[in-house]
Amino acid sequence: MQLVVARIGRAHGIKGEVTVEVRTDEPELRLGPGAVLATDPASTGPLTIETGRVHSGRLLLRFAGVHDRTGAEALRNTLLIAEVDPEERPEDEDEYYDHQLIDLDVVTEDGTEVGRITEISHLPTQDLFVVERADGSEVYVPFVSEIVTEIDLDEQRAVIDPPPGLIDDRAEVASARDAEDAAGDEA
């Protein structure tokens, strides 16, 4: 199974280094020197990591055969793809690969069916499950422990405890203006 582990950003310096946007929780395993990665587009790879270092909080990589800024710039926006055993699981028991979560059935704690996970959206602050309902509509479920209470890979399901309004129309809208209006009505 192939997993996207990073996206190449802009060139850094003049010796062929590039910044990378890491898309794996295990960069030391997937993006270490000597790693050979497939690419998207395929025509730019495969790429072998020659060196890696962190500079100002960003991972910088240099690839074999890329020794100048021009070569590095030519790689910009290329996705780096690692080959992973489909049965492999992350070291932390509370972490999952996207392919393990896609197609899980989503149910509430009382067993009510919500839908099926069709996509994982990785946002800067948190990940979201994109859940397709039986009627074809989508609902977005934040992948946080307060809402996603259980992932059962054996049963192929994700159990959620959604707050009001997340998957239905029971949302309660509260704002400062409502409080002011209520106070004004009492006077």
Kindly report the number of other CB atoms within 10 A of residue 84's CB atom. Answer: 17
What's the pLDDT score for residue 104? 92
Stretches where the chain sits below pLDDT 70 are 86-92, 169-187
Task: Provide the b/e sequence for 124-160 (b: ≥16 CB within 10 Å).
Answer: eeebbbbbbeeeeeebebbbeeeebeebeeeeebbbb
What pLDDT does residue 185 have? 56
> How many other CB atoms sit within 10 Å of the CB of residue 30?
20
pLDDT in tens, 8-25: 999 998 999 999 988 777
pLDDT of residue 183: 54
Which H or E element spans position 141?
strand 138-142
Q: How, if at all, do strands 127-132 and 79-83 pair?
A: unpaired
Dihedral sign, CA of 100, 101, 105, 107?
positive
For residue 3, give the nearest of 100, 99, 102, 128 by alpha carbon.
99
pTM (whole model) above 0.75: no
Other residues' Cβ atoms within 10 Å of the Cβ of residue 70: 11
| 105-108 sheet: strands from edge to edge | 138-142, 127-132, 113-122, 105-108, 157-160, 148-152
Strands of 2-65 (E only): list them.
Answer: 2-12, 17-22, 36-40, 47-55, 58-63
Tell me what pLDDT residue 48 has.
93
